[in-house]
Structure 1
Amino acid sequence: MSRSIFGFLSNDIGIDLGTANTLIYVKGAGIVLDEPSVVATTAEDNKIIAIGREAKEMLGRAPATIRTIRPMKDGVIADFRAAEEMLKEFIRRVIHKKFLIKPRILISVPLGITEVEKRAITDAAEGAGAREVFLVKEAIASAVGVGLPIEEPSGNMIIDIGGGTSEIAVIALSGIVSHTSIRIAGDEMDESIIQYMKKKYNLLVGEQTAERVKLEIGSAYPLEKELEMDIKGRDLLSGLPKIVRVSSVEIREALAEPIGAIMQAIRDAFEKTPPELASDILDRGIILTGGGSMLRNLDRAISEQTNLHVHLVDDPLTCVVRGTGKILDNFSKYSHLLLKEKRF
């Protein structure tokens, strides 16, 4: 059966399988799903009871009889069964019964992924019902998603900061010329806030509270008007609930280590970049994408460190999944960008 006939009977799906969120693009429909990458199971028999947003609401609040799992860690699968079931459920939500043939699935993966980790993602997608599985590097998908002229012989630098990984890549002639990938990103920022509150205030806060603090008053560079907010948690000394008022200056101090690691990774990427491409980047600047890039003034902090113009794209959270969509919509043009293709 030809590919054109397959197109009428099945859907092509692009997936940004992120540590924090999973986004799905369906060919012809656009982005149809954006859900937290969280699964809730019963502790006794590991039966899945919630997936996505409903499961995330249970984080830090569930009784001992319920476990909340993040199937993805640092951009790769940490819990295979939970990842497969999560994919299966998300695909079920977006694929209509009228499509008679299993879909082709394109999944973005981090630059530093190993062969074993690639295999795990492919197997999980197959288990979730894929007819064919393709993988594409997140940096490439993100560059396609924002419309960078990646096929030209000039250099483009893209920095994609997600939940589990930060990817810095220099792209030219449809390939990655140099890159650095570190497993420090949004989740590490949340953990740094948790540790800071514990160390400075003897206050124990959960993941969701730390993430909310990061979003509401977190920053990577001084703000014109510094912010404050109340943080609720448990006092480690008394064991009782406690409220502490903190400022954006303190949270910036808490985030100094992960931000510093990302800055070092950017410097490392430049050290690997050929001089001709470095001069292109000097003219074009740096493109900043990914959910983690929405931290206040991160673009200014990077610009200060590199003396380059840094452009934070519109809707940075969806760049990767939009890129998978563009690749699927013009598969013949972009098929050479794929890491690997598996047919069965």
Structure 2
Amino acid sequence: MFNFMSFGENIGIDLGTATVLVYIKGQGIVIREPSVVAIDKDTNTILAVGEEARRMLGRTPGNIVAIRPLREGVISNYEVTEKMLQYFIEKAMGKRSFVKPTIAVCVPSSVTEVEKRAVEDATRQAGARRVHIIEEPIAAAIGSGIDISRACGSMVVDIGGGTTDIAVISLGGTVVSYSLKIAGDNFDDAIIRYIRKKHNVLIGERTAEDLKIKIGTAFERTIPVSMDVRGRNLITGLPKNFTVTSDEMLEALQESVAAIAEAVHGVLEKTPPELAADIYERGIVMTGGGSLLYGLDKLIQSRTGIHAMVAEDAVSCVAIGTGRYIEFISEGGDEEQKEKHGFDIGGLFRKKTES
């Protein structure tokens, strides 16, 4: 029998606030592009999507606007999100775009039913045959290689662009979870505010992101680093070149990273003692692009007293987990388990072991 599966009919999508990742069975992650869309306001037509649109941020004429249709992990502009999804799905499918794929999309653990329905409808309108929704902490845990089917507590901290999802997982389900609307975008905003206040200079989102990636820090560095930055002087109105240090970044990000560490501590306080003992032994796994901020793992470890580690390929963990989820769904499974957990996670790992 002809097997559409091998031709990528099933797709996993990490629909992130900052980045969209698309996973196809047998190929892995085939698309990794920013969640940005450039639109001509005069004609209401889409000019660019993804990386090409990101390069336009802050550099467009009056009639062109580069927007990010997702904010804090949920859809803020339904029509643009639908068009963006359609573009990425068609790009991933290539010449097989006539085949309507089954798609799994991840959402933050705190989304409402209305927000979840919006993601589902937008994905279906973008060309999906069937849509499955999975919570980000579960996808992140699967993608980072944790066997969450065991009766053993695992803690995942997924720091994306719009939200930080913290969850304690056991037996394939979430025991305690918390979603915080402080993540990568808030880091950028905090840097912009700090530079404006301290240096009287206005910098753009891209410059703030570069600062975050290159010299951003959540825990004091043993060897300070610095970076030259250009912005607009708010007093003279002229361009200005100046140097920013990692110590300044620590000061700028202090409030945001402290809120994340405090949220992790709060989830641990609500965790049943047996599972808390498991987490103490196994450590805290950090995923998502925000977890790559220098010293954030050290900060969480100092706040909780539990070893915190950043997962390998942390940025891709949610997309990989979503892809493995859709692989299992496509193979069929116990419907009662699917209803209970979204899918039979234990079955997924047993199938992987047997194959």
Structure 2 match to 1:51 = 49
| Correspondent of 1:34 among 26, 32, 47 | 32
Task: Give the alignment's Cα RMSD to 1 decimal.
Answer: 1.6
Shift of 1:246: 1.4
Separation of aligned partners in 2, 1:8 and 1:167: 32
Structure 2 match to 1:167 = 165
Separation of aligned partners in 2, 1:10 and 1:280: 38
Q: 5 Å matches for 1:322-337? A: 322-331=320-329, 332=332, 335=338, 337=341
Separation of aligned partners in 2, 1:206 and 1:97: 38
Does the Cα contact within 8 Å between 1:21 and 1:35 map onto a contact in 2?
A: yes
Structure 2 match to 1:131 = 129
Q: Residues 13-60 of structure 1: CA distance to partner in whole angstroms, max 9, x if unpaired?
A: 000000000000012221100000000001223211000000000001
What amino acid sits opposite 2:103 in the alignment? I
Does the Cα contact within 8 Å between 1:10 and 1:102 map onto a contact in 2?
A: no
Structure 1 residues 31-40 or 324-333, which shifts more? 324-333
Q: 5 Å matches for 1:134-283? A: 134-283=132-281
What amino acid sits opposite 1:329 in the alignment? E
Separation of aligned partners in 1, 2:7 and 2:92: 15
Separation of aligned partners in 2, 1:45 and 1:255: 40
**Paired residues, number:** 337
Q: Residues 283-312 of structure 1: CA distance to partner in whole angstroms, max 9, x if unpaired?
A: 111001100000011111111111111111
Shift of 1:328: 2.1
| Correspondent of 1:317 among 303, 315, 318 | 315
Structure 1 counterpart SS, 2:167: strand
Does the Cα contact within 8 Å between 1:10 and 1:101 map onto a contact in 2?
A: no
| Correspondent of 2:113 among 112, 115, 118 | 115
| TM-score, normalising length: structure 2 | 0.92
What amino acid sits opposite 1:35 in the alignment? E
Distance 1:167-1:8 versus aligned 2 partners, 3 A rule: closer
**Percent of counterpart pairs with the same letter?**
47
Q: 5 Å matches for 1:271-310? A: 271-310=269-308
Separation of aligned partners in 2, 1:8 and 1:250: 50
Q: 5 Å matches for 1:62-101? A: 62-98=60-96, 100-101=98-99
Structure 2 match to 1:22 = 20
Separation of aligned partners in 1, 2:46 and 2:4: 32
What amino acid sits opposite 1:83 in the alignment? T
Distance 1:251-1:10 versus aligned 2 partners, 3 A rule: closer
What amino acid sits opposite 1:63 in the alignment? P
Shift of 1:98: 3.7
Does the Cα contact within 8 Å between 2:191 and 2:208 map onto a contact in 1?
A: yes
Separation of aligned partners in 1, 2:60 and 2:274: 54
Shift of 1:9: 7.2
Shift of 1:249: 0.3
Structure 2 counterpart SS, 1:255: helix
Shift of 1:99: 6.1
Shift of 1:6: 5.5
Structure 2 counterpart SS, 1:195: helix
What amino acid sits opposite 2:229 in the alignment? I
Structure 2 counterpart SS, 1:95: helix
Shift of 1:335: 4.1
Separation of aligned partners in 2, 1:229 and 1:335: 50
Shift of 1:10: 6.2
Q: Residues 247-288 of structure 1: CA distance to partner in whole angstroms, max 9, x if unpaired?
A: 100011000111011012111211211111111111111001
Shift of 1:110: 0.3
Separation of aligned partners in 1, 2:50 and 2:338: 31
Structure 2 counterpart SS, 1:133: strand
Q: Residues 297-343 of structure 1: CA distance to partner in whole angstroms, max 9, x if unpaired?
A: 1111111111111111111000001101211222346845429xxxx
Separation of aligned partners in 1, 2:6 and 2:164: 37
